[in-house]
Structure 1
Amino acid sequence: MSKNEYVPFLSEIKEVIKHTNIEYTFRMSYDGVVKPGQFFEVSIPKYGEAPISVSGVGENTVDLTIRRVGKVTNEVFERYVGDKLFLRGPYGNGFDVENYKDKEIVIVAGGTGVSPVRGVVEYFAKNSKEAKSVTLIAGFKTPKDILFSEDFKEWKNNINIILTVDSAEGDSNFKEGLVTKYIPELKLQNVKEASAIVVGPPAMMRFSTQGLLDVGFKEENMWISQERKMCCGIGKCGHCKIDDVYVCLDGPVFNFTKGKNLID
């Protein structure tokens, strides 16, 4: 009997980590293979479902970082440790760390775009010898909007971190400016062979990928995520379709040679 891809399963909330007033990470029970950049559908009966990117993978757990922005997520935020949510997935192709091993790696992420790349950053922060170098340029609106602040403190011990905010609000402890400001300042040994990942709002991704191309990155060595287009997860509703591509099925992670043509 074939499996019904629409049928969700129950997952227990193991931990809730608060980042901001509207952004929490829910650590869910999950026993299976999952990659950074993939996503799950989170659902609550009578309220609906929402696609949420994987922000971390643990032993029999998966992290889902959720922003409180609507009917479903409002209800999710009423759940606590020991409660259960319905999940289905994981969906999409995710980021394959094998693509970045033994390379100079640059990751550019904006806001909640840090969530889908967190697993990649975490991997190379713990296995720094598997990359020639790793630089994470992460941008947020203000210091109050920063996600994974404890992770940033750990990551900086093994990789190069550039944490910037649009407005430091008078706090001299933070760099100020858009992520694109720091791309020309990258110090790489061989930019033609370096790899890059870019995830964030559409405008940020557009200008960041152009900035990377301007400093010499090759299109085939760049990856993006179209996570904002995720919908049903299995290509049935058609909401994620761009030309002949279904983002839920063919993405949300794309090599830039293909992703650059996916104009919404």
Structure 2
Amino acid sequence: MKNEYVPFPSKIKEVIKHTNLEYTFRMEFNGEVKPGQFFEISIPKYGEAPISVSGIGDGLVDFTIRRVGKVTDEVFENYVGDTLLIRGPYGNGFDIENFKGKEVVIIGGGTGVSPMRGVIQHFAANPKDAVSTTLIAGFKSPEDVLFKADFEEWAKTINVIKTVDAAPEGYEGPVGMVTKYIPDLKFENPKNAVFICVGPPIMIKFTIQEIKKLGIEDEQIWTSYERKMCCGIGKCGHCKMDDKYVCLDGPVFNYTEAKELFD
């Protein structure tokens, strides 16, 4: 019988630095995985941390990791050719089929862009799969922007608004919260629009309030409670919200369910 707690080794193929605190680790993985799912990355004697998938390739999976504690500090000591232990994927991800043929709006705050990156990449590479695709991504400052090269590529095929909360004098580009740009969204058919929103809880709250003002229904909105992950397999109970185990029933939820879950 397979022990779901036992990780397997994965070699680091590439390390991409975004900021002083956020790197993407591109690692070996062969298997089915969806954007929005997550893995547990572990180092013996230090522990493990749940990390969302931020990219999917042929025999590869990306993890964009923020250096915030004991485990991630140690992960940052590893580089190309080193091996980390991982287990997964876990959870319920974003199903691309739910968004095909729609007017797609993807809204992310900070590292919340990471779990949605696979969806963005799909529609940027296959723009005809959607009626239209708009990405609104917010970061604290220009220095905190993740995936800078990706944003340049995405802007070639989809509508991209990359905004920062605050910027130095002379900065050229959108400034302000992501909510500032939602009222200006226009749709051919609002009933055919779909939204994905991931970021800090307070950002999700006010973003969805603005989305609802456009006449969008709950079932047209998707979000992720990725920050709630712990053991990954519903045994520890730390992710339980009401009657849902977020690591099993989520972390991706349609807003018809997400709005009923209370932390």
Matches within 5 A, 1:116-135: 116-135=115-134
* Alpha-carbon distance between aligned partners in 2 of 1:261 and 1:170, rounded to the nearest angstrom: 43
> Could you tell me which amino acid in structure 1 is paired with residue 127 of structure 2?
S
Offset of residue 3 of structure 1: 1.2
Specify the alignment match of 1:77 in structure 2.
Answer: 76
Offset of residue 199 of structure 1: 0.1
Offset of residue 174 of structure 1: 2.1
* Alpha-carbon distance between aligned partners in 2 of 1:169 and 1:187, rounded to the nearest angstrom: 30
CA-to-aligned-CA distance 1:111-135 (integer Å, 9 cap, x gap): 0000000000000000000100000
Specify the alignment match of 1:45 in structure 2.
Answer: 44
> Could you tell me which amino acid in structure 2 is paired with residue 242 of structure 1?
M
Cα 1:51/1:171, change in 2 over 3 Å:
farther
TM-score, scaled to structure 1:
0.99
Specify the alignment match of 2:66 in structure 1.
Answer: 67
Of 253-262 and 171-180, deviating more is: 171-180
RMSD after superposition:
0.6
CA-to-aligned-CA distance 1:60-82 (integer Å, 9 cap, x gap): 00000000000000000000100
CA-to-aligned-CA distance 1:212-256 (integer Å, 9 cap, x gap): 111111110110000010111001111000111000000000000
C-alpha contact (below 8 Å) 1:242/1:262 kept by paired residues: yes
Q: Structure 2, unaligned stretches of length 5 or more? A: none
Specify the alignment match of 2:152 in structure 1.
Answer: 153
CA-to-aligned-CA distance 1:157-202 (integer Å, 9 cap, x gap): 0000010000012243121100001000112111122000000000
Matches within 5 A, 1:128-207: 128-207=127-206
Q: Structure 1, unaligned stretches of length 5 or more? A: none
C-alpha contact (below 8 Å) 1:53/1:65 kept by paired residues: yes
C-alpha contact (below 8 Å) 1:114/1:138 kept by paired residues: yes
Partner secondary structure for residue 192 of structure 2 = coil
* Alpha-carbon distance between aligned partners in 1 of 2:216 and 2:91, rounded to the nearest angstrom: 25
Specify the alignment match of 1:93 in structure 2.
Answer: 92
Offset of residue 89 of structure 1: 0.2
* Alpha-carbon distance between aligned partners in 1 of 2:238 and 2:36, rounded to the nearest angstrom: 19
* Alpha-carbon distance between aligned partners in 1 of 2:225 and 2:196, rounded to the nearest angstrom: 12
Partner secondary structure for residue 175 of structure 1 = coil
* Alpha-carbon distance between aligned partners in 2 of 1:216 and 1:53, rounded to the nearest angstrom: 31
Specify the alignment match of 2:244 in structure 1.
Answer: 245
Offset of residue 210 of structure 1: 1.2
Partner secondary structure for residue 116 of structure 2 = helix
* Alpha-carbon distance between aligned partners in 1 of 2:135 and 2:210, rounded to the nearest angstrom: 15
CA-to-aligned-CA distance 1:18-77 (integer Å, 9 cap, x gap): 000000000000000000000000000000000000000001000000000000000000
TM-score, scaled to structure 2:
0.99
* Alpha-carbon distance between aligned partners in 2 of 1:52 and 1:166, rounded to the nearest angstrom: 25
Identity %, equivalent residues:
67
Specify the alignment match of 1:220 in structure 2.
Answer: 219
Partner secondary structure for residue 190 of structure 2 = coil
C-alpha contact (below 8 Å) 1:168/1:174 kept by paired residues: no
C-alpha contact (below 8 Å) 1:17/1:24 kept by paired residues: yes
Of 69-78 and 215-224, deviating more is: 215-224
* Alpha-carbon distance between aligned partners in 2 of 1:72 and 1:32, rounded to the nearest angstrom: 25
> Could you tell me which amino acid in structure 2 is paired with residue 103 of structure 1?
K
Do structure 1's residue 56 and structure 2's residue 41 form an aligned pair?
Answer: no
Of 166-175 and 190-199, deviating more is: 166-175
Do structure 1's residue 229 and structure 2's residue 224 form an aligned pair?
Answer: no
Specify the alignment match of 2:207 in structure 1.
Answer: 208
